[in-house]
Amino acid sequence: MSSDNIVPFNKGEDAMVPPIKALKSGGGGGTFDDMEARVEALEKKFDKIEGKLDGIANDMAYIKGKIEGFPSASSFGELKGRVDSLPTTAKVAAIVGMIGVGVTIIAKWAELSKFLP
């Protein structure tokens, strides 16, 4: 077995990777000139997002204030108890029927008294 065709794993790796250059510092000319424009654009977009988040926070505070003014669960429980105690349709119909019978008896009393002993 010959060692002529065996190449170390990292041989030639330095030639494949370009050197990393630093960003501009101060007044020098760096290699990432477009990076500053990109960062500036991102900062502007972030300012817009920040403004929108402030608007959302204000809306949330308004909604929270509205919700605090709503009736509580205990108030709804009390209301449900009061509604449950109201007469049903059948009860109202029975009361109207009894009133009708009473009015009929009073109106026809002269005729009905003939049948009484």
Q: What is the pLDDT of residues 72-93, one digit of tens each?
A: 888 888 888 888 888 899 999 9
Is 21:31 a contact under the CB 8 Å cutoff? yes
Cβ partners under 8 Å of residue 71, min gap 6 = 79
Note whether 75 and 57 are same-domain residues: yes
Residue keyed to tokens 């009929």: 104
Please tell me whether residues 67 and 98 are part of one structural domain. no
Task: Assess whether 98 and 76 both reside in one domain.
Answer: no
Are residues 72 and 100 located together in one domain of the fold? no
Average pLDDT over residues 93-112: 93
Q: Are residues 66 and 81 in the same domain?
A: yes
Domain membership of residue 18 (yes or no) is no
Range of the domain at 43: 32-86
Q: Which three-class secondary structure state does DSSP give residue 56?
A: helix
Does residue 63 have a pLDDT over 90? yes
Residue 112 near residue 105 (C-beta atoms within 8 A): yes
Q: What is the reported pLDDT for 105?
A: 92
Q: Average pLDDT, stretch 45-59?
A: 93
Same-domain check for residues 68 and 104: no
In angstroms, the CA 111 to CA 42 distance is 99
